[in-house]
Amino acid sequence: MTKPIRLGLIGCGGIVRLNHISVFLSLSDSVRVVALADLAPENLEYAGNTLEVPPAQRYTDYRDMLAKAEIDAVSIATPHSLHAEHAIQAAEAGVAIISEKPMATSLEEADAILAAVKHNGVPYTVIHNLLFTLPMQEALAQLRAGKVGKPIFGRGQLLGLKPADFGADHANPAMAWRAQKAIGGGCIIDTAYHEIYSVEALMGSPVQYVEARVKTMHFDIDVDDIAIMLFEHQNGTVSTVSASWCSPAPTPERGRWCEVHTTSGSIRVYHRDEEPLWRFTRAEGGWKSLDVLEETIKESPGIGGHFGCYAAVFDALATGSEMPVPGEQARHNLAIVEAARQATDERRAIEVR
């Protein structure tokens, strides 16, 4: 039996508490968290106690953890602007890297990460978790099997309403940094990012051209709070993505979803919904809810595909196979984000770099 991967956490805040910890505990045959790094004592205490990490392996400086802890890999879950620094330092320490999205806040940073990973010969992946929900996995399987025809047009949407005090002075630090340009925040990179890779996966062809309006419409913040995008894919098909921090999600469309319309049918995935997967074919007489239920991880549901994503990552590390979301794929998603910003500034279609 393969020994569990010894994992160190860089960042133990909100997303780790909400999703990662329950995943690590549920995958105890594959991974063991042996070290932690976080600036906040309360984060170290909570994660350390829950994951049974000894106090001696709880660090306030991640560089000390990289130098002293016996680890095989790190999981990076820090504000966006720190991802590049943490990933490059981890690469130089010779450990495998699992990074929360986005891999960086600019393509220059992304290229520096890829160079460090290549130079040091370490595995690297980015968490594109919505690709690994059970409904999304089933939708992709049906598309690959040709059960609903060839994709023509795709859509993705998440419309939400942030709290009235959203911004730099928000009482919740995890909320505040997402609303600051200096830390890499903004609706498109923090929220629409997921819809971009989800729709692209359903379409089965990379995005090549982007038209967009990425704007600040409501909040007094220095980043965007709404993003509307039109994509042309390499094979000539088209798709759209809409995301907002400043509008209530309309009840009939149930919040976060993505869909693809094909030559003979349609597939729609609702995230975090009791009926998450729907298919339309004329033979079936219209839309039909398919029987796909999310896994349950201890007391918390497997929200957002983190369980499936980490399971695939740990399996790849154990077998030496390709990481589920390679760095080049994550860079491509970031390039779409940058193209959308450029398209807004220049009021024209931008080719993805």
pLDDT for 255-297, tens place per residue? 789 999 999 999 999 987 788 899 998 888 889 999 876 554 4
Split at pLDDT 50, 70, 90, the class of 174 is confident
Mean pLDDT confidence for 184-208 = 97
Mean pLDDT confidence for 105-111 = 98
Split at pLDDT 50, 70, 90, the class of 253 is low
Question: CB 347: neighbour CB atoms within 10 A?
Answer: 9
Split at pLDDT 50, 70, 90, the class of 301 is very low
| Polymer length in residues for the chain | 353
Q: Dihedral through CA 42, CA 43, CA 46, CA 52, nearest 10?
A: -120
Q: Which of 61, 63, 67, 74 is nearest to 24 (CA)?
A: 74
Structure tokens at 234: 């390499």
27, pLDDT greater than 80: yes
Which CATH number describes the domain made up of 5-128?
3.40.50.720
Give the per-residue pLDDT at 288.
Answer: 93
Instruction: For the chain, give the percent of residues with pLDDT over 70.
Output: 95
CB 310 within 8 A of CB 128: no
**End-to-end Cα separation, the chain, in angstroms:** 43
Q: Which residues contact 98 (CB under 8 A, 6 or more apart)?
A: 73, 74, 75, 76, 125, 126, 127, 310, 313
Burial 244-254 (b: 16+ CB within 10 A, else e): bbbeebeeeeb
Task: Report the predicted TM-score, pTM, of the whole model to 2 decimal places.
Answer: 0.94
**Which superfamily, per CATH, for 130-303+326-351?**
Dihydrodipicolinate Reductase; domain 2 (3.30.360.10)
69, pLDDT greater than 70: yes
pLDDT, tens digit, 9 for 90 and up, residues 124-133: 999 999 999 9
Q: Which of 68, 76, 5 is nearest to 38 (CA)?
A: 76
CB 19 within 8 A of CB 304: yes
Look up residue 104 and give its amino acid: A
Report domain extents, the chain: 5-128, 130-303+326-351
